[in-house]
Amino acid sequence: MPIVSSANNFSSSNLMCHAGHPDWVIERWPFTDAGSETIGVMKPGYLVKFDTNRTAVVPALAADDATLEGIIIDLPDAEDSSDTVAIAVQGSFNQYQIRYADAHADTGDPTPLSKAALSRLRDMGIFLEPVTPLTPAGEAGRRAYAALEAAELAAGIANQA
């Protein structure tokens, strides 16, 4: 059963990849805002790195390729007063759902991950696989596919009840 967060109605099933290295290692860390990249605009699938003291994670941008450390998979619940995020530090993921932390500001398709980012993540034990094919619709096509996956998941949960 996928992890489901009531705070942001998020199901991790769209991040999952079962090819090769499906096992996730997940840790919860305090989150520190960095400029316009605040906890309020973060989403599951956004990349993070550790702060200089390794006591919290901060948003990771394209300039941070050499220091990438993990992927946000869950945000704090609304009733939780702490700003902690669950991050995956190992595992395999759907490449098309992983973004730099400033993706919320993109008006079109988000900045693609660089070869350096993919290499760093692979070195950290994070494997990104092209799970869903790119379509001419780009981000809109991926969103539609994610909505379809969510509907199928909801139908499966309802059938189990």
33/66 Cα distance (integer angstroms)? 20
Measured CA to CA, the distance from residue 1 to residue 16 in angstroms comes to 12
83 SS3 class = coil
At residue 13, the pLDDT reads: 52
Render pLDDT for 59-86 as a digit per residue (tens, 0 to 9).
999 999 999 999 999 988 777 777 899 9
The pLDDT value recorded for residue 3 is: 42
Q: The domain 4-133 is classified under which CATH number: 2.40.300.10, 3.10.129.10, 3.40.50.150, 1.10.260.40?
A: 2.40.300.10
Q: Which helix (DSSP H) or strand (DSSP E) does residue 90 occupy? A: strand 84-94
What is residue 86's predicted lDDT score, i.e. its pLDDT? 93
Task: Considering only CA atoms, give the Rg of the chain.
Answer: 15
Cα–Cα–Cα angle for 4, 40, 118, rounded to 5 degrees: 70
Count of Cβ atoms closer than 10 Å to residue 69 Cβ: 21
Q: Which two tokens stand for residue 155?
A: 């139908």
Question: Which pLDDT does position 150 carry in this prediction?
Answer: 74
Q: Please, where are the H alpha helices in the chain?
A: 115-123, 139-160
pLDDT beneath 70, residues of the chain: 1-22, 106-108, 131-142, 144-145, 156-161
Query: What Cα–Cα distance (Å) separates residue 114 from each residue in 26, 64, 69, 107, 119?
Result: 24, 11, 15, 19, 9
**pLDDT for the residue 1:** 31
| Residue 110: both structure tokens together | 């988000």
pLDDT at 73: 92
In this prediction, residue 117 carries a pLDDT of: 94
